[in-house]
Chain A
Amino acid sequence: MTGWVSAALSVLALVVVLAAVHVPFGDYMARVYDSSKHTWFERATYRVIGVDPDADQRWPVYLRSVLIFSVFSVVSLYALLRLQPFLPLANGKDAMPAFQSLNTAISFVTNTNWQSFSGETLGFLVQMVGLAVQNFWSAAVGMAVLVALIRGFTRTRTDRVGNFWVDLTRGTFRILLPVAFVFAIVLLVSGVIQNFADTTATTLAGGEQILPGGPAASQEAIKELGTNGGGFFNANSAHPFESPTPFTNLLEIALLLVIPFSLPRTFGRMVGQLRQGFAILATMTILWAISVSLTVAAENAHAGAALQAAGAASEGKEVRFGIPMSAVFGASTTLTSTGAVNSMHDSYTPFGGGMTILNMGLGEVAPGGTGSGLYGMLILAVVTVFISGLMVGRTPEYLGKKLGAREVKLASLYILVTPALALIGTGIAMSTETGRSSMLNSGPHGLSEVLYAFTSASNNNGSAFAGLSANTDFYNIALAVAMFLGRFLPIIFVLALAGSLASQTRVPETEGTLPTHRPQFVGLLAIVTVVLAGLVYLPALALGPIAEGLS
């Protein structure tokens, strides 16, 4: 049982560290985005890209900037992948096929990091200049969109929601780069590799084996910090070169949770009501804790004879991490849109695997991706306030902003997008021979593989149920569409909502206003989050994991 004790202590340490860090880190991020000062380096950047950093944008302009930047990123990453053999540091690797390149480019720009390739097939230049750069930028874009939405709540009677280029630059230079730098070194010191050469090892049998190497540590830090999840190596965080020890495992979990769990504090600070941020944080924490507990429980309790003999479901999990800390990683990575894996979710018990699908189905909000997690949760808060606000006898308002037809329309469209993409995608795949032929397993488990893939892509998570052969034209294209729409349609609605909120005056809070900082609201928000996702995904889950688990 010592494994369980150490796991419990690890989770405790995780919670304590995050609880301690989220306050100063959240406050710091609020200062970054609220500040009116620019560093000399940022000024130089703005001059190069030709932006007036002190000119705030209207929401359509902000949105256009996001889209232009993202399309530029997709195109340049696509070009890098296609031109790999002609670039330096290619290590003799070939160009990636067209559809796969498109899938990969969209995947990394949308912060999904779905990989239909294995990391080992890429050269170091593409890894560093292509994928790693997108790891920073896609995370910074998510935070920028979030900050614009927060400004919608804080500002009144204006059509300006901030400057995307400033928010992007600051998020990259002041938040992601310094933290990633520090933790790249920590990971390096803890045994994650950072080199430019492959190693040839002699196996026990006396044969020779080439172990691919590369600058992994520098990529590993931002992979987790930016909730990206794209592995340097195919085996992702299960690979000893990416995460060699239980300590690095715990550190990676902490890194992938730290920004999403600190942003509610940033939100509370920016809207001038810390308790509002705390309520959101509490909701995220409760959902995370429940999900982690259920996943761990599911992995621990299994009916299979072999698994009972082993004590738990250990297939597909690394012995050095143990079952509980694999499950904690699995739940955390699917709840944060990270999609890094330290164990194979395909091998989880039916209910454990089902939890990972449901986690993503929640909409990546507990705590969700960098920026996207909080804006998703704020959208759910808008829906919750709308329904429960009516029950106190007023037309609903959140943080002093009225939720009228326009606001509800945008929030409704937001919550409609990802389930629609995931379910339509799954439906199409299951009704075509091409879609079904990629499944490794038959029966409910095969269905789970496909459902997992589309849920993961639509919600920009990026992890995979390992069984599915996703490198086919069908899946490369279908999942690319799901990732692209799953990222940018919600962003359109979020920014439109930001503009709509910013143009309003603030309604003063009275005794008659629905309080959105009390446990009552926290509970409601958590229930609405679960019920909305549950009702939509339940039929599909019933035919996949639930059917498998109950048989």
Chain B
Amino acid sequence: MSSVTVHESEQVSVGAFSPKSLVTSLPTALVKLNPRRMIRTPVMFVVLVGSVVTTIAAVLQPTVFAWSIAVWLWLTVIFANLADAVAEGRGKAQAASLRAAKKDSVAKRLEADGSITTIAGVDLHVGDNVVCEAGDVIPGDGDIIEGLASIDESAITGESAPVIRESGGDRCAVTGGTKVLSDRIVISITAEPGSTFIDRMIALVEGTDRRKTPNEIALNILLASLTIVFLIAVAALSPLANYSEAPQTLIVMSALLVCLIPTTIGALLSAIGIAGMDRLVQKNVLALSGRAVEAAGDVSTLLLDKTGTITLGNRQAHELVPAPGIEILELANAAQLASLADTTPEGRSVVVLCKEQFGLRAQEVSEFNDAEWIGFTAQTRMSGVDHDGQMIRKGAAGSVFAWVREQGGTVSPEVEQQVDAIAASGGTPLAVANGPRVLGVIFLKDIIKEGIAERFAELRRMGIRTVMITGDNPATAHAIAAEAGVDDVLAEATPEDKMELIKKEQAGGRLVAMTGDGTNDAPALAQADVGVAMSTGTSAAKEAGNMVDLDSNPTKLLDIVAIGKQLLITRGSLTTFSIANDVAKYFAILPAMFVVVLPGLATLNIMRLGSPNSAILSAVIFNALVIVALIPLALRGVKYRPATSGQLLNRNLLIYGVGGLIAPFIGIKIIDMIVSQIPGIG
């Protein structure tokens, strides 16, 4: 697991956007003009039809004005496609490097008789067993069924440090395209070629199999219905204009329609979705469905594993508490001795504590010739050493006390009290004994990640409840929970408990997000609305989740939520902006259309635009340019800081609502000042 600093991702990262990409994506944008593709975005399809109509009209009656409108309507459509193309283009480079990892893989298939056949990676099937040795590229996704190897996964995760994978347990999964650095393993293939993890990743970053997400569909419906309303309003205007003796050309009607329908959001909607997925990819998270990204914004309960998310991976010795009548130095000596053979991080932290606090030199196991070392087992739950006629033990308090009583000793109530106190304060008490004498207690403490309490406070302000999942006993769990500031605790959690908790939350209408890596996490990952599987996890877990974190960093769940919210906010804000724009466009176009026969309407020309033609053209140009201007914002996402819903709404309304009202007045005026210089327009 890579190390984490909690603060690194307080704000959703800003994806790089270079203006150059607008130019390089232009050919793709032109290819996208295919009407069968365009009809999927009704708003832009209407613009396409408008472009065709005005072009025909311009051919029939060529004027500078007619051609200008036709050209700018085409540009509006192309700009919209450009937004898509640029968004998709950002995944292309990544896809190319993934493809490089995939290509030409050769598999050494292990046949039933033990022989090995060399075949192409693409000919593998689920259930085949393949052998991989140092230097081999793993030909497909699978589980190690024999052996252990160090593997370079940089092709997928970008992380250059090799990882260890071994058969059995939760670290048996390997991914096709990664490279074995040492040893020999036998892999049972679990995915057909074409649907491997790397294939799905390529499809995802390229956006090829992107489907519209539920909220995107809903927004599209709203935009389509607004388009229909405006279509009707403009169509009905025609007989009214004829009656008023101010008949309008098809060109002007098309211009009015295009300016009124929500083209800004219509053009950028799918780019926003692609960019949202892309932002996750930049965070090394693969969302296997767009639906999951949206759900992330909605999550109201986060299930967080204590270890790795809230606390650093391992507990550390924090304090030595001697039993009554025992010198602390004697306790320290015994604790160090008992821990020398204990290579777990906890054991080493005891040695370190003894050295730092009591100046005890760390001795080497080899210095003791006649000592008999007793290793830690799950049954005895103790380790220790028999040396010089002394029997020193260190381990779980209950186990050590039982052992002491077997030796004919007693445990004083004071020591038991100390043990309880440590447990209650969130620590893990380890007892140290020398034969029948209890020497004291070691206080092992969970180290809570720096800054995590602040993030939980932020989440609470956003209305998200955090639940800590831990195998610890309730007393310990609650103490850590209080220190870290989580809202609730699931202690002594079994996979079934987790599943039950998720179902309970969902029954109450809450969306749940969780991380997991083990095979026994798989059902819960599948049940959760957002299930983030660790890349180090089993293939069962990765299958079950709807996101995979390539860094295997559970804290990233918080970033995923932020990206989900940012995606939704971007959609809402640009929709508001788009609709607010209409007001100014009316003030530009309506007087221009009718001022000749109804001079009173000149009062509405509050921008004092040069001429009717320049006013209409300026509105169309503004409408087109604003799409290009907003592409970076659509790709980057609007700025998001955790805050209450009321604050968020106020902020975004001010920027995109009020801003959307004012900006076009200024923009159209400036464009008009330029456009009205053109002969035939001004």
Which stretch from A66-74, A249-257, A399-407 is at the chain B interface? Answer: A399-407
Which stretch from B181-189, B360-368, B642-650 is at the chain A interface? Answer: B642-650
**Interface size class, chain B:** 35 or more
Does A36 lie at the interface of the complex (its beta carbon under 8 Å from any beta carbon of B)?
no
Residues of chain B within 8 A (CB-CB) of A409 are 218, 221, 225
From 377 to 420 in chain A, residues with beta carbon under 8 angstroms from any chain B beta carbon are 383, 386-395, 400, 403-405, 407-409, 412-413, 415-416, 419-420
Is the pair B222, A395 in contact by a Cβ cutoff of 8 Å? no
Most buried by A among B238, B240, B571: B240
Given the interface pairs A387-B576, A430-B239, the reply to whether A415 lies near B225 with Cβ below 8 Å is: yes
Residues of chain B within 8 A (CB-CB) of A419 are 229, 232-233
Cβ of B46 to closest chain A Cβ, rounded Å: 15
Does A50 lie at the interface of the complex (its beta carbon under 8 Å from any beta carbon of B)?
no
Is the pair B236, A403 in contact by a Cβ cutoff of 8 Å? no
CA–CA, A530 and B14, complex, Å: 37
Which stretch from B294-302, B325-333, B444-452 is at the chain A interface? Answer: B294-302
CA–CA, A447 and B590, complex, Å: 17
Is the pair A431, B242 in contact by a Cβ cutoff of 8 Å? yes
Is the pair B462, A511 in contact by a Cβ cutoff of 8 Å? yes
Residues of chain B within 8 A (CB-CB) of A543 are 237, 240-241, 243-244, 246, 594, 598
Given the interface pairs A393-B569, A514-B645, the reply to whether A436 lies near B243 with Cβ below 8 Å is: yes
Cβ of A235 to closest chain B Cβ, rounded Å: 30
Cβ of B308 to closest chain A Cβ, rounded Å: 26
Residues of chain A within 8 A (CB-CB) of B241 are 543
CA–CA, A485 and B626, complex, Å: 38
Does A32 lie at the interface of the complex (its beta carbon under 8 Å from any beta carbon of B)?
no
Does A206 lie at the interface of the complex (its beta carbon under 8 Å from any beta carbon of B)?
no
Count contacts on A: residues with CB < 8 A to the other chain. 64
From 100 to 117 in chain B, residues with beta carbon under 8 angstroms from any chain A beta carbon are none
Task: Annotate A518-533 by CB proximity to B: 1 below 8 A, 0 otherwise.
Answer: 1010001000000100
Is the pair A506, B509 in contact by a Cβ cutoff of 8 Å? yes
- The 8 Å CB contact of B590, one of A420, A508, A539, is A539
- The 8 Å CB contact of A551, one of B226, B236, B599, is B599
Cβ of B43 to closest chain A Cβ, rounded Å: 13
CA–CA, A373 and B564, complex, Å: 36
CA–CA, A508 and B505, complex, Å: 10
Task: Annotate A476-518 by CB proximity to B: 1 below 8 A, 0 otherwise.
Answer: 0000000000000000000000000000011110111111001
Cβ of B614 to closest chain A Cβ, rounded Å: 19
Does B464 lie at the interface of the complex (its beta carbon under 8 Å from any beta carbon of A)?
yes
Is the pair A412, B221 in contact by a Cβ cutoff of 8 Å? yes
Residues of chain A within 8 A (CB-CB) of B656 are 391
Cβ of A94 to closest chain B Cβ, rounded Å: 36
Residues of chain A within 8 A (CB-CB) of B228 are 416, 420
Residues of chain B within 8 A (CB-CB) of A443 are 244
Given the interface pairs A444-B244, A510-B300, the reply to whether A538 lies near B645 with Cβ below 8 Å is: no
- The 8 Å CB contact of A447, one of B214, B226, B244, is B244
Is the pair B566, A515 in contact by a Cβ cutoff of 8 Å? no
Cβ of B593 to closest chain A Cβ, rounded Å: 8
Which residue of B has the minimal Cβ distance to A550? B600
CA–CA, A210 and B142, complex, Å: 100
Cβ of A248 to closest chain B Cβ, rounded Å: 39
Does A535 lie at the interface of the complex (its beta carbon under 8 Å from any beta carbon of B)?
yes
Does A426 lie at the interface of the complex (its beta carbon under 8 Å from any beta carbon of B)?
yes
Cβ of B655 to closest chain A Cβ, rounded Å: 10
CA–CA, A548 and B603, complex, Å: 12
Given the interface pairs A391-B569, A539-B233, the reply to whether A511 lies near B645 with Cβ below 8 Å is: yes
Is the pair B569, A540 in contact by a Cβ cutoff of 8 Å? no
- The 8 Å CB contact of A408, one of B218, B508, B649, is B218
Which residue of B has the minimal Cβ distance to A393? B565
Is the pair B232, A424 in contact by a Cβ cutoff of 8 Å? yes
Cβ of B616 to closest chain A Cβ, rounded Å: 14
Is the pair B572, A511 in contact by a Cβ cutoff of 8 Å? no
Given the interface pairs A390-B571, A447-B240, A543-B594, the reply to whether A420 lies near B229 with Cβ below 8 Å is: yes
CA–CA, A404 and B648, complex, Å: 21
CA–CA, A87 and B508, complex, Å: 61
Is the pair B600, A395 in contact by a Cβ cutoff of 8 Å? no
Does B305 lie at the interface of the complex (its beta carbon under 8 Å from any beta carbon of A)?
no
Most buried by B among A388, A393, A538: A393
Does B453 lie at the interface of the complex (its beta carbon under 8 Å from any beta carbon of A)?
no
Does B640 lie at the interface of the complex (its beta carbon under 8 Å from any beta carbon of A)?
yes
From 644 to 682 in chain B, residues with beta carbon under 8 angstroms from any chain A beta carbon are 644-646, 648-650, 652-653, 656
Given the interface pairs A508-B510, A511-B463, A546-B601, the reply to whether A408 lies near B572 with Cβ below 8 Å is: no
Cβ of A410 to closest chain B Cβ, rounded Å: 10
Is the pair A512, B646 in contact by a Cβ cutoff of 8 Å? no
Does B579 lie at the interface of the complex (its beta carbon under 8 Å from any beta carbon of A)?
yes
Residues of chain A within 8 A (CB-CB) of B300 are 507-508, 510, 512
Is the pair A393, B297 in contact by a Cβ cutoff of 8 Å? yes
Is the pair B239, A515 in contact by a Cβ cutoff of 8 Å? no
Cβ of B503 to closest chain A Cβ, rounded Å: 13
Residues of chain B within 8 A (CB-CB) of A431 are 239, 242-243
Residues of chain A within 8 A (CB-CB) of B583 are 531, 535
Which residue of A has the minimal Cβ distance to B242? A431
Which residue of B has the minimal Cβ distance to A409? B221
CA–CA, A520 and B575, complex, Å: 18
Residues of chain A within 8 A (CB-CB) of B215 are 390, 395, 404
Which residue of B has the minimal Cβ distance to A386? B222
Residues of chain B within 8 A (CB-CB) of A395 are 214-215, 294, 297-298, 568
Is the pair A510, B464 in contact by a Cβ cutoff of 8 Å? yes
Does A246 lie at the interface of the complex (its beta carbon under 8 Å from any beta carbon of B)?
no
Residues of chain A within 8 A (CB-CB) of B653 are 388, 391, 524
Task: Annotate A1-24 by CB proximity to B: 1 below 8 A, 0 otherwise.
Answer: 000000000000000000000000
- The 8 Å CB contact of A511, one of B240, B461, B565, is B461
Given the interface pairs A390-B215, A535-B582, the reply to whether A408 lies near B236 with Cβ below 8 Å is: no
Which residue of A has the minimal Cβ distance to B567? A393
Does B23 lie at the interface of the complex (its beta carbon under 8 Å from any beta carbon of A)?
no
Residues of chain B within 8 A (CB-CB) of A412 are 221-222, 224-226
Residues of chain A within 8 A (CB-CB) of B260 are 535
Task: Annotate B21-33 by CB proximity to A: 1 below 8 A, 0 otherwise.
Answer: 0000000000000
Is the pair B509, A388 in contact by a Cβ cutoff of 8 Å? no
Is the pair B601, A547 in contact by a Cβ cutoff of 8 Å? yes
Is the pair B233, A507 in contact by a Cβ cutoff of 8 Å? no
Cβ of B595 to closest chain A Cβ, rounded Å: 10
Which residue of A has the minimal Cβ distance to B652? A391
Is the pair B218, A405 in contact by a Cβ cutoff of 8 Å? yes
Residues of chain B within 8 A (CB-CB) of A240 are none
Residues of chain A within 8 A (CB-CB) of B462 are 393, 511-512
Given the interface pairs A419-B229, A531-B579, the reply to whether A514 lies near B649 with Cβ below 8 Å is: yes
Residues of chain B within 8 A (CB-CB) of A424 are 232, 235-236
Cβ of A194 to closest chain B Cβ, rounded Å: 45
CA–CA, A405 and B212, complex, Å: 11
Does B586 lie at the interface of the complex (its beta carbon under 8 Å from any beta carbon of A)?
yes
Does A536 lie at the interface of the complex (its beta carbon under 8 Å from any beta carbon of B)?
yes
Task: Annotate A41-58 by CB proximity to B: 1 below 8 A, 0 otherwise.
Answer: 000000000000000000
CA–CA, A546 and B590, complex, Å: 11
Residues of chain A within 8 A (CB-CB) of B236 are 423-424, 426-427, 540
Given the interface pairs A394-B297, A395-B214, the reply to whether A405 lies near B233 with Cβ below 8 Å is: no
* Chain B residues proximal to chain A, CB less than 8 Å: 214-215, 217-219, 221-222, 224-226, 228-230, 232-244, 246, 256, 260, 294, 297-298, 300, 460-465, 507-510, 564-566, 568-569, 571-573, 575-576, 579, 582-583, 586, 590, 594, 598-601, 603-604, 640, 644-646, 648-650, 652-653, 656
**Contacts A/B (CB < 8 Å), 10 sampled:** A390-B575, A391-B656, A423-B232, A423-B236, A427-B237, A427-B238, A535-B260, A543-B237, A547-B601, A550-B604
Q: A510-B300, A511-B644, A524-B653 are in contact. List 11 more A-B contacts (CB 8 A).
A: A387-B576, A390-B573, A395-B214, A416-B228, A424-B235, A430-B239, A431-B239, A431-B243, A505-B507, A513-B645, A547-B598
Shortest 4 CB-CB contacts between residues of A and residues of B: A390-B572, A512-B463, A510-B463, A393-B565
